């Protein structure tokens, strides 16, 4: 099998920080060969098996993608080819089907049947850090250790939407959205109906900060800024499974593996 090519969208934001962590995390997945590259053009995107969309300014990333003729190729990569994609912070915003919270109109990429609220916790000065328990890392290295997360002008997933078929693509019906992590009720929202209240005060278990829907994974925080490669390693494992499924039986097998992985997370 050829090395698995993982791209990091390098239009704006914290893209460079992902590459060294990917290199380190790949050592735990030496069953496969790996290549990691920065993606700025449609041809570079076409060479990738999987993609990370980094944090940064979601509006700027969208505008540059449009000007460089990457917008539609990115949408096809995510929703038609159904290749593995991970968005962090601004990347999560761009992957959401619905975006709220003000700001300029956003031409996103879509792929996650969720509504995301931008700048949920406020401006740069309201950025914060928190230790989270992430059950989806339960089978990995240092599983019992909490994960230190960094939230910078962070969004949250404010609601899950219907996983109805995407009529803009030829992809199979999407699986349900899985909630992979919540932020305990420590921080208060500054925008929207819950302004001034924490998730706990609103009667919820916590703000949703990590989700997955089939091939698409999103986190509201920045794992690439922590030096902890466990989430990158977990995601590379998911990418490897997807590529193996594609090699064995084409897209149908890869979609089956998505569903199996979803069941494993639910069981954990």
Look at residue 165 in the predicted model and tell me its pLDDT. Answer: 47
First to last CA, the chain: 31
pLDDT at residue 256, rounded to an integer? 45
What's the pLDDT score for residue 103?
76
Q: How many CB atoms lie within 10 A of CB 179?
A: 16
Active site residue 89: yes
Residue 240: predicted pLDDT: 96
Residue 147 lies in a domain: no
Selecting among 18, 48, 222, 258, the annotated active-site residue is 222
Query: Structurally, how many domains does the chain consist of?
Result: 1
Asked whether residue 65 is assigned to any structural domain, the reply reads yes
Active-site residue, from 89, 178, 232, 238: 89
**Residue 187: inside a domain:** no
- Quote the domain boundaries for residue 162: 4-118+158-182+209-267
In a domain, 148, yes or no: no
pLDDT at residue number 122:
80
**Confidence (pLDDT) at 252:** 44
Q: Which helix (H) or strand (E) holds 208?
A: strand 207-213
Q: Please, what's the largest Cα pairwise distance for the chain?
A: 53
pLDDT per residue as tens digits for the range 209-250: 999 999 999 999 999 999 999 999 999 999 999 999 988 876
pLDDT in tens, 150-170: 999 999 999 999 865 454 544
Pairing label, strands 207-213, 216-219: antiparallel
- The CATH number that applies at residue 169 is 3.40.50.880
Name the residue among 50, 52, 76, 58 with its Cα closest to residue 258. 50
Residues 148, 154: Cα–Cα separation, whole Å = 15
Flag residues of the chain having pLDDT under 70: 125, 139-144, 163-172, 185-204, 250-268
For residue 203, being part of any structural domain is answered with: no
> Which pTM does this prediction carry?
0.85
Is residue 25 in a domain? yes
User: Nearest 5°: phi and psi at 198?
Assistant: -85, 170
The answer to whether position 249 is within a domain reads yes
Instruction: For residue 130, tell me if it sits in a domain.
Output: no
Marked catalytic residue, from 224, 232, 238, 258: 224
Query: Which pLDDT belongs to residue 141?
Result: 59
């Amino acid at each position: 099998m050829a090395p698995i090519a993982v791209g990091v969208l390098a239009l704006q934001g914290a893209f460079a920080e992902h590459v060294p962590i990917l290199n380190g995390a790949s050592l735990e997945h030496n069953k496969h060969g790996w290549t990691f590259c920065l993606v700025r053009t449609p041809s570079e995107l076409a060479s990738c098996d999987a993609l990370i969309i980094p944090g940064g300014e979601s509006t700027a990333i969208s505008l540059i993608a449009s000007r460089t003729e990457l917008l539609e190729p990115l949408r096809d990569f995510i929703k038609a080819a159904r290749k593995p994609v991970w968005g962090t912070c601004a990347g999560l915003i761009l992957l959401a089907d619905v975006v709220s919270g003000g700001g300029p109109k956003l031409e996103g990429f879509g792929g996650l049947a969720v509504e995301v609220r931008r700048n949920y916790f406020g401006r740069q000065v309201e950025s914060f850090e928190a230790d989270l328990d992430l059950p989806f890392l339960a089978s990995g290295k240092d599983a019992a250790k909490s994960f230190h997360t960094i939230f910078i002008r962070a969004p949250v997933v404010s609601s899950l939407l219907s996983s109805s078929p995407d009529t803009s693509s030829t992809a199979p019906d999407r699986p349900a959205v899985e909630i992979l992590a919540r932020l305990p009720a420590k921080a208060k929202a500054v925008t929207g109906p819950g302004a001034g209240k924490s998730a706990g005060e609103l009667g919820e278990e916590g703000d949703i900060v990590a989700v997955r829907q089939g091939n698409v994974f999103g986190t509201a925080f920045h794992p690439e800024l922590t030096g902890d490669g466990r989430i990158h390693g977990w995601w590379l494992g998911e990418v490897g499974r997807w590529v193996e499924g594609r090699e064995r039986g084409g897209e149908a097998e890869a979609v089956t593996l998505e569903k199996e992985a979803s069941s494993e997370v639910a069981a954990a």
